[in-house]
Structure 1
C-alpha cells in the first residue's frame, strides 16, 4: 500500500490569513531597523571635503544613505551639489541620475 501525501493541500489552511502573514513580515522587518547615526560637525565637514575632492578630480564616490531605518550603498559620480534644495545629484549609470538629500548621507568614501 502506497502512502498518499496531499502535497501542498495540507499547508493551505496556514496561508488563509494574508493579513497575518503581512503583519508577521512587517514585524520581522521592524526588528531589523536601526536608528539614524548621529553625524557631528567634524564628520559632516569631512564628508564635504571628500565630496569636493571627488567632484574636482572626477572620481567615483560611495555613499552610505540612511532611509527609513536601513542603510544602503550608492556608488556613482557627483554631478551637482544643490545648496538651495540641499541635495546631491549623482550619476549612477550613464545618463541615469539620482538625487540624495544631505541629511540622509551617513558615510562618504572616495573610490579612485
Structure 2
C-alpha cells in the first residue's frame, strides 16, 4: 500500500514565521532604498541663500530630505536656523516642527 504524501507542497516555503516575514520586509526596503545625492559647494551655497531668503520674507520653503535611503519632502516656514548644530527648524503647514540637518538636504525650493 503506497503512502499518500503531499508531494512538493511540503517543501514549499511557508510565510507563517514572523522572523521570515520581517526578513522579507527588510529585504524589500533595502532594495527600494536610493543612494544619497552628491551636492557640491555651489549647490549648498545656493540652498543656504534660498533658506535665508525664505526666512527673511517668511515665505514657504519646500525641502527635499534624504533620510535612511529614502527621500521625504517637507513644506513650511523657517522657524529657526541653528548654525552651530547645522539644523533648520521648519514649522510645517499643520503646525508641527520638523528638524532638518544640513547634511540631509537634497534640494530646496522657495514657494512665494
| Structure 1 moving runs of 4+ over 6 Å | none
- Could you state the TM-score of these two structures normalised by the residue count of structure 2? 0.83
Unmatched segments (≥5 aa) in structure 2: 1-12
- The equivalent residue for 1:90 is 90
- The equivalent residue for 1:8 is none
- Could you state the TM-score of these two structures normalised by the residue count of structure 1? 0.83
Q: Describe how 1:60-79 pairs up with structure 2 within 5 A.
A: 60-79=60-79
Q: In angstroms, what is the RMSD of aligned CA positions?
A: 1.5
Q: Describe how 1:1-112 pairs up with structure 2 within 5 A.
A: 14-93=14-93, 95-112=95-112
Partners of 1:68 and 1:100 in 2: CA distance: 13
CA contact (8 A) 2:75 2:93 kept: no
Partners of 2:24 and 2:94 in 1: CA distance: 40
- The equivalent residue for 2:5 is none
Deviation at 1:56, TM superposition (A): 1.2
CA contact (8 A) 2:65 2:105 kept: yes
Partners of 2:92 and 2:52 in 1: CA distance: 18
Deviation at 1:54, TM superposition (A): 0.6
Deviation at 1:18, TM superposition (A): 1.3
Q: Could you say what secondary structure the match of 1:14 adopts?
A: coil
Q: 1:77 to 1:29 in 2, by over 3 A?
A: same
